[in-house]
Amino acid sequence: MVKTILIISSDDEYNISIEYKLSYALKEDVRFDLISDSDYLKEYLKSPHNINILIVDPSFINHINGTIRSEKAYLLTESATTKAGEISKYGGADSIIRELDDSFLRKSFDDKSRDTKIIGICSPSGGCGKTVSAIGMCLRLSEMGKKVLYINAEAFQTFESVIDKSGAFHNGGPTLPDGGRTFMTDEVKRAIAAGSPNASNVILANVRKGKFDYIPQSMDVLSTYQVTEDKIFHVVKSLQSGKIYDHIVIEFESGLSAARLTLLSECERLVIVTGQGREDDERRERFIKLLSVGLVEIVYICARCRNENSIEGNAQICEYIPEKSDIADIFESREGMNYYRKAAEAVM
């Protein structure tokens, strides 16, 4: 028996983004109809229709009448967070696919577990805005319907202050009972340092959850506990195989080392955060030449930008972030709501 999915949406950009992947994902005996024109919808509603899945944009909700009978109905929303009966546009076709059971999907899509991508965040030198960019990327990816884990691999960690100002954990996220901070537990450090087979489970038990997940920062220098970048990355690879997250964003130390070059080459995407100025241009060009990561896709961000489009060299900058005196402006100003969105879209 033929199954039917009906999507009613006037958002042409969204419709184009989902049409190909959804058509490819569905079995041959599943009919997929997409209505974007109000006049056509009026004609469609003149006769009765029994369908399995109805997905409708709020702008058309008042047009729906008793001629459509559906087993399940969903409302399209532009919010990153969804309730029961809602599908977020930010998740694209994947958000729809996750709501379908195996009877709708081709065999290759029957397993709806996530294909986790590791995104490495790095920079030629310190002071480029790397940590702010990493947090910004995590926020935007989560707003697009992705499940994100942020892990900082720096030996000396100070990222909690950036997270505090980002709003990730007080604008809709949980707050700590005492209003203070949590810190990386000794259990997590020991598990990572020992290369424990259970290390990924220990980490998952200690993540802090909000708009995105993250491992709290260490009060001490991680190298004191023999926790190194390569050991952290080993756990990240284990987490990747578990397919719990859509994206694991790992922030590396600034600069390069032989060991770090190897780790960066194992990421699915690299985000290189650069500053602006002659010295920054020279460092970035040297950094790129030394990197030589082959097939790894690279996205460039110019953070703390004073004059857009003045970057010299071979890097094609994906996004320019204006220089701000207060980190909160990056996330809380009206303009700041769109910062890092282009970069997030690029790594997806």
Max CA pair span of the chain: 72
The structure's pTM equals 0.66
pLDDT at 242: 83
Rounded distance, CA 159 to CA 220, Å? 13
Domains identified in the chain and CATH numbers:
3-109 (3.40.50.2300), 117-347 (3.40.50.300)
Rounded distance, CA 62 to CA 41, Å? 12
Mean pLDDT by 10-residue block, N- to C-terminus, for the chain (348 residues)?
A: 91 83 84 91 91 92 86 85 79 81 74 77 90 94 90 94 79 43 88 90 88 92 94 94 91 91 89 86 83 72 75 71 78 81 88
Residues 6+ apart with CB under 8 A from 25: 93, 97, 105, 106, 109
**Half-sphere CA count of 198, side-chain side, radius 13 A:** 7
CA 72 to chain centre: 28
pLDDT at 98: 80
Distances (CA, A) of 58 to 67, 100, 293, 317: 18, 21, 45, 36
Helix (H, G, I), strand (E, B) or coil at 182: coil
pLDDT at 282: 85
Classify strands 208-209 and 213-214 as parallel, antiparallel or unpaired.
antiparallel
pLDDT at 108: 56
Helix (H, G, I), strand (E, B) or coil at 185: coil
Q: Could you identify the residue written with the tokens 């402006």?
A: 329
| Chain segment 246-289, per-residue pLDDT in tens | 999 999 999 988 889 889 988 989 999 988 878 888 888 888 88
Classify strands 30-35 and 49-56 as parallel, antiparallel or unpaired.
unpaired
Phi and psi at 297, nearest 5°, equal: -80, 135
CA 32 to chain centre: 28
CA 216 to chain centre: 19
